[in-house]
Amino acid sequence: MPSENDLLYLKDIWLKYNKNMSDHQGSYRGCELIEVKLNTAQLEIGMYVKELDRPWLQTPFMFQGFRITTERELQQLRALCKHVTIEVEKHYWFSYQKHHINEKTQESSLKEPQVTTPLHKTLPEAKTLYDKANVEIHSILNKVKEAEDIDIEPIRETINGFVRSVVSNPNALLWLTRIKNRDEYTAEHCLRVAILSIAFGRHLDLDESELSLLGMCGMLHDVGKMIIPDEILNKPGKLTPEEYDVMKAHASRGGELLEQQSDLDPSIITVARHHHERLDGMGYPSNLKAENISLYTRIVTIVDAYDAISSERCYKPAATPAEALRILYENRGTQFDPELLQHFILMVGIVPTGSIVELNNGQVGIVLANNPQYKLKPKVLLVRDEQKRPQEERIINLAKCPIKADEKPLEISKALSNGSFGVDILDYTKSKEYPHLSEFNWL
């Protein structure tokens, strides 16, 4: 539900909207219109309703497509429908989105979303969801490559499962994003971008319907890559200018592919088409500037770049998460939204959940959860002793470790790649029980 400030801002937008609205078509003169699916709780007088979530003949409205002009119409829409599609001028809508998220992040910047389910209970279900989504995204991408019809509905159901898991405890799925197979990059990248986008949206205090939509945007943002020839997509060396032009076409082609799907939210198509745009207008395919780049596109652009930089490819090694964040930070304001990027860094942490780390005493562990107050002092599951031998697994909270007078405080000395010293994240995402995890509410 929008706050009072949101509604005041929204009303101001719709006053401007009404001044420019054509009486007979409900559209702007000389302005670009977009369609937006809204929960009916967010509707306001002045909005132009283009579609309902039920047949028009089952409603008392005289016209198929109308502008809300009375409180009675507003209440009828809320009583009859869960969501509707409105038509709005792009600039005003993106302006509202940006204001809305700024309001939320200012209010919640010092708060961490509550974790309601312990990791040891969340992890098995999260792994099942992850494996199911992995199969589904592979199927969709293969069908796109073979020019066959695709079915989006199974992905939609799985994304809703991701949202429920992330809302109760994001750490389980964030663990799984650390599992990376270079030979399955595009499919697993889509999967990771979906999960990270949902977790980021949770950090930004978006509601569950917004998180589901954001997850769909992340999951389908790169479908256009399946149309790019393998010899370009997987070329180990630098692309020629001609090859780079072919590669860039994946964004517009992805948008075209998704436009063919019925009942697909326009935001998903927008993200697929524009996730390589930049705030300074130097992106592709449309050279959009900041005011024309939607909120979901800005979010997925950050997540997409982060995962790409921190993943191994046939033409480059993986950067560490810290290095990836540094690269993103250096491009804030020109390529990435600086306010959103700041919140993304806070959400991910310097050593993300699922990272394998070595402590200054030689022990090796896996980061279970980040501490928002102490960025370099997360909760760690110790799995190797000082000589890198398997040890009895136990959890330590680096922010609360007792320090003896003759000892240095325990801290992370470096991040390790998956597989270091025989530690594989995949082994810790199977249906393995950790009864001792239940002792820690922070999980």
Q: What is the pLDDT of residues 309-343, one digit of tens each?
A: 999 887 788 888 888 999 999 999 999 999 899 88
* 399 in Cβ contact with 371 (< 8 Å): yes
Confidence of residue 14 (pLDDT cuts 50, 70, 90): very low
Q: What is the pLDDT of residues 399-441, one digit of tens each?
A: 887 665 567 788 898 888 888 899 988 787 664 554 445 444 3
CA 363, CA 383: separation in Å to the nearest integer? 8
From residue 274, alpha-carbon distances to 156, 304, 387 in Å are: 21, 12, 49
Q: What is the pLDDT of residues 117-143, one digit of tens each?
A: 877 778 888 889 999 999 999 999 999
**By three-state DSSP, how is residue 107 classified?**
helix
pLDDT value of position 69? 86
pLDDT value of position 31? 63
3-state secondary structure 221-258: CCHHHHHCCHHHHCCCCCCCHHHHHHHHHHHHHHHHHH
> DSSP letter at 140?
H
| pTM recorded for the entire structure | 0.76
What percent of the chain is modeled with pLDDT above 70? 83
> DSSP letter at 396?
E
pLDDT value of position 443? 38
For the chain, give the mean pLDDT: 83
Sign of the dihedral through C-alpha 240, 241, 246, 251: positive
CA 171, CA 174: separation in Å to the nearest integer? 5
pLDDT value of position 287? 94
Better pLDDT: 149 or 275: 275
pLDDT value of position 112? 60
Domain boundaries, the chain: 4-93, 119-348, 356-429
Q: What is the pLDDT of residues 34-55, one digit of tens each?
A: 788 877 877 888 888 988 888 8
Query: Which H or E run includes 147?
Result: none
Give the tokens for residue 377: 């002092």
* 67 in Cβ contact with 47 (< 8 Å): yes
Contacts 24+ apart (CB under 8 A), 278-281: 278/334, 278/335, 279/333, 279/334, 279/335, 279/336, 279/337, 280/334, 280/335
Can you say how many angstroms the Cα of residue 360 is from the centroid of all Cα atoms in its chain? Answer: 33
CATH number of 119-348: 1.10.3210.10
CA 360, CA 62: separation in Å to the nearest integer? 72
Confidence of residue 386 (pLDDT cuts 50, 70, 90): very high
Stretch 278-287: mean pLDDT, rounded? 95
pLDDT value of position 2? 42
pLDDT value of position 439? 43
> DSSP letter at 118?
-
pLDDT value of position 299? 96
User: Please, which residues bridge with residue 416 across strands?
Assistant: 356
For residue 66, pLDDT beyond 90: no
* 137 in Cβ contact with 94 (< 8 Å): no
Q: What is the pLDDT of residues 105-116, one digit of tens each?
A: 555 444 566 777
From residue 47, alpha-carbon distances to 51, 78, 103, 160 in Å are: 12, 13, 22, 28
Q: What is the pLDDT of residues 206-246, one digit of tens each?
A: 889 899 999 999 999 999 999 999 999 989 888 999 999 99
* 127 in Cβ contact with 429 (< 8 Å): yes
